[in-house]
Amino acid sequence: MPEIAEVETLRRDLEPVLVGRTIVDCVATGERSVRRHEFLGELATLVCGAQVTGLRRVGKYLLIDAVGDTATSDPLVIMIHLRMSGQVFHVDRSAQLAKHTHVRVGLDGNDEIRFVDPRTFGEVFACRSVDFDRLVPSVAAMGWDPLASPVSKLAFGRQVASVKRHAKAFLLDQRQVAGLGNIYTDEVLFAAKVRHDRRTNSLTPREVGRMYRAILALPADAANNGGSSLRDQQYRRLYGEIGGYQHHLQVFDRASQPCFVCGRVIERAAYGGRSTFFCGHCQH
DNA sequence: CGATCTACCTGATGGC
DNA sequence: TGCCATCAGGTAGATC
């Protein structure tokens, strides 16, 4: 479900709620959601008493920085990855528990943060900051982030030329560009007028330029619109609202509908075991 | 190196 | 109404 724009929306929504707050309580009931930990209670042991200092996002990972209580004031990182169906809500402690609530993080007030995840692919994990890169190596291996750490057009051109892969596989590879998923990859490729199965090293300078601009612009625009809630409206913001960027999508989930640019029918193809949407006329 | 498939899960949807 | 197949915003690992 959530990609860079949805996780960035979550980060922005959560930042004013969490920064400066102290975690007074943590209950993890979902074994699979805290699978990186040795045991269910380890998360609570680490985060209880910690004070949140800031929120970062690296690709689709949300990272909450905190400092432990006075006895063990080590800097901590709390990592949340939503995978396919994870949701994070800010609620009053008395709010009814939604089905599939796996982690509750109580704050120094009457409120708490809840991690809900029907498919249990998502995860919550915490550790000392000094251990983070070793314990969550995929974050350390992440490529450049379009919103948080953009590279120059020149550097991007070199990066694209250095691999011989399908454009879609390249964009989906988190080690190359962080945060793009199935939705925004298709949208970037449409904006760049490039087909998903083009080889990266065959792209013309103009195509590379268009792709670069789209990678920078689309996630920013989507995040400013609160992300995309698709047909099932599974993606929800911190207080349960749906996003607004689904109305801006050009190709994703628009199979058999007319292209907004040329009027021809948007096609759907299987790629890498999932769907890809494109305009066979506009994209080459 | 790169492509393709599978597994991990629950729930929504559509055909019959 | 139910039953079954198919599909879903991600990622890691096996296999060719």
Q: Each residue of A88-140: pLDDT tens digit?
A: 999 999 999 999 999 999 999 999 999 999 999 999 999 999 999 999 999 99
User: Mean pLDDT over residues A240-257, rounded?
Assistant: 97
Distance in Å from B5's C1' to A272's CA comes to 9
**Partner residues linked to A65 by β-bridges:** A54, A77
**Percent of chain A surpassing pLDDT 90:** 97
**Average of per-residue pLDDT values in chain A:** 97
- Contact between the CB of A135 and strand C at under 7 Å: no
Residue A166 has pLDDT above 70, yes or no: yes
| A168-187 mean pLDDT | 98
Of A121, A101, A123, A122, nearest in space to A113 by CA: A101
What is the distance between the alpha carbons of residues A282 and A284, in angstroms, rounded to a whole number?
7
As a rounded value in angstroms, the CA-to-C1' distance for A204 and C12 is 33
CA distances from A113 to A80, A89, A106 (A): 12, 6, 6
A229 touches strand C (CB under 7 A): yes
Q: How far is the CA of A186 from the C1' of C10 (A)?
A: 16
Considering only residues A71 and A207, tell me which one the structure prediction assigns the higher pLDDT.
Answer: A207
- Which positions in strand C are less than 7 Å from the protein's CB atoms? 7-12
Whether the CB of A271 is less than 7 Å away from nucleic strand B comes out as yes
Q: What is the per-residue pLDDT for A69?
A: 79
Q: What is the pLDDT of residue A277?
A: 97
* Average pLDDT for A231-238: 95
pLDDT digits (tens, 9 = 90+) for A43-94: 999 999 999 999 999 999 999 999 987 666 899 999 999 999 999 999 999 9
Å between CA of A91 and C1' of B2:
45
Report the pLDDT averaged over residues A276-281. 97
The pLDDT score that the predictor gives to residue A72 is 64
Catalytic residue positions of A, numbered: 2-3, 60, 274
Q: Residue A278's pLDDT is what?
A: 97
The answer to whether the C-beta of A227 is closer than 7 A to strand C is no
**Which residue has the least CA–C1' distance to nucleotide B8?**
A121
- Strand B: which residues 31-90 of A lie within 7 A (CB)? 32, 84-85
Q: Is the pLDDT of residue A235 over 90?
A: yes
pLDDT of residue A213: 98
